[in-house]
């Protein structure tokens, strides 16, 4: 093991690790990329409450010549609150930070091992919002079929949910069931050959189909799988940066925001004299909430 000192520890650059961690985080989430985001690099504390403006529905008014426009307050507007009560972290020790930072493969081993746990926590908290949705289609214990997806489409249509973008996140068992659905065989063979070659379902009845191993299952007789069909307005993921370490603490940190997914992650490093290495912490601060009940339905299977 190389001798690690506070001098060599200072060579650790949190920004480099944060950018790489963000790339891995983005690639390990599904639902977090699809819902509405409210993210910012402004620093907040655990427990802070955000007030999210949701305007509701406007009405088109008749306009006569030489008359003023009609100012209106939209109906059905709301101001849901999101509490930043989810603070998740993964910490580990690097005994040779200079080597780890200079070697992309070695850095990736650390990051690829640490970040999925954070991604799973975010995804699980978002999936848990299914319990607040009032609408559902499908039957518990029965795999999803083409007819189930059509029923989900009709329900969102009846709720006047925008046609695009719409997503459906399904379990691994339901993905296999759809790939083997005889009613979709011709479509997959002719229009979506990659579904057969690569297992990529893609678009069905206006939904982009995604598979996640984290779709909740309520154990029972029968067990009930809680797939989701939704427009991004069904839920919100709010993420904020955490404060920098205090001056003089010897710790350094960097928070970065992904412009593509809206995810925010912080990396903090400090020399740990007890373990003679650099302690690295990856952490996120976020909150989740249902935004518009009509824009999401549970697809039971």
What pLDDT is attached to residue 10?
47
d(CA 57, CA 77): 7
List of domains in the chain = 129-235+293-300 (3.30.2320)
Question: Do 4 and 95 form a contact (C-beta atoms < 8 A)?
Answer: yes
What pLDDT is attached to residue 8?
43
d(CA 62, CA 241): 46
Across the range 256-279, mean pLDDT stands at 85
Unique residue bearing structure tokens 């427009």: 231
Angle between helix 104-127 and helix 14-27 axes, rounded to 10 deg: 50
d(CA 238, CA 264): 9
Unique residue bearing structure tokens 């329900």: 155
What pLDDT is attached to residue 253?
85
Q: Where are the alpha helices (DSSP H) in the chain?
A: 6-9, 14-27, 31-34, 97-102, 104-127, 146-158, 172-179, 185-190, 193-198
Of the two residues 116 and 275, the one the predictor is more confident about is 116
Unique residue bearing structure tokens 């970065």: 256
> Model's pTM, two decimal places?
0.85
Question: Do 200 and 65 form a contact (C-beta atoms < 8 A)?
Answer: no
Q: List Cα–Cα distances, 274 to 11, 93, 100, 253, in angstroms.
A: 19, 11, 20, 20
What pLDDT is attached to residue 2?
43
* Dihedral sign from CA coordinates of 105, 108, 113, 114: positive
Query: For 136-166, how does the pLDDT look when each residue is reduced to its tens digit (9 = 90+)?
Result: 999 999 999 999 999 999 999 999 999 999 9
Across the range 53-65, mean pLDDT stands at 77
What pLDDT is attached to residue 57?
73
User: DSSP of 76-123, one letter per residue?
Assistant: T-B--EEE--EEEEEEEEES-HHHHHH-HHHHHHHHHHHHHHHHHHHH
What confidence category does residue 254 fall into, taking pLDDT thresholds of 50, 70 and 90?
confident
pLDDT at 5 over 60: no
Across the range 222-233, mean pLDDT stands at 97
CB neighbour burial string for 74-87, b if at least 16 within 10 angstroms, e if fewer: eeeeeeeebebebe
């Amino acid at each position: 093991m190389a001798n690690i000192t506070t001098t060599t520890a200072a060579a650790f650059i949190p920004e480099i690790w944060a950018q790489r961690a963000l790339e891995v985080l983005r690639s390990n989430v599904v639902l977090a990329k699809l819902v509405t985001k409210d993210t910012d690099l402004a620093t907040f504390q655990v427990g802070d409450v955000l007030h999210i403006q949701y305007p509701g529905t406007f009405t088109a008014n008749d306009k006569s010549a030489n008359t003023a426009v009609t100012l209106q307050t939209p109906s059905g507007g709301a101001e849901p609150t999101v509490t930043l009560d989810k603070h998740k972290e993964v910490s580990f020790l690097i005994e040779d930070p200079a080597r780890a930072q200079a070697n992309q493969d070695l850095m990736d081993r650390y990051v690829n091992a640490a970040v999925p746990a954070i991604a799973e926590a975010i995804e699980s908290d978002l999936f848990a919002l299914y319990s607040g949705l009032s609408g559902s289609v499908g039957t518990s214990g029965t795999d999803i079929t083409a007819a189930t997806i059509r029923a989900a489409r009709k329900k969102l249509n009846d709720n006047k949910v925008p046609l695009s973008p719409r997503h459906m996140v399904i379990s691994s068992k339901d993905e296999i069931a759809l790939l083997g659905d005889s009613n979709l065989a011709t479509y997959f063979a002719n229009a979506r050959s990659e579904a057969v070659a690569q297992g990529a379902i893609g678009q069905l009845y206006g939904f982009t189909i995604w598979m996640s191993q984290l779709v909740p299952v309520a154990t029972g007789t029968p067990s009930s799988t809680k797939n989701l069909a939704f427009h991004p307005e069904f839920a919100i993921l709010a993420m904020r940066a955490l404060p920098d370490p205090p001056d003089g603490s010897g710790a350094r940190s960097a928070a970065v925001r992904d412009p593509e997914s809206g995810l925010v992650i912080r990396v903090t490093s400090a020399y740990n004299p007890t373990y003679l290495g650099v302690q690295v912490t990856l952490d996120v601060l976020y909150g989740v909430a249902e935004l518009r009940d009509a824009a999401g339905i549970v697809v039971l299977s």
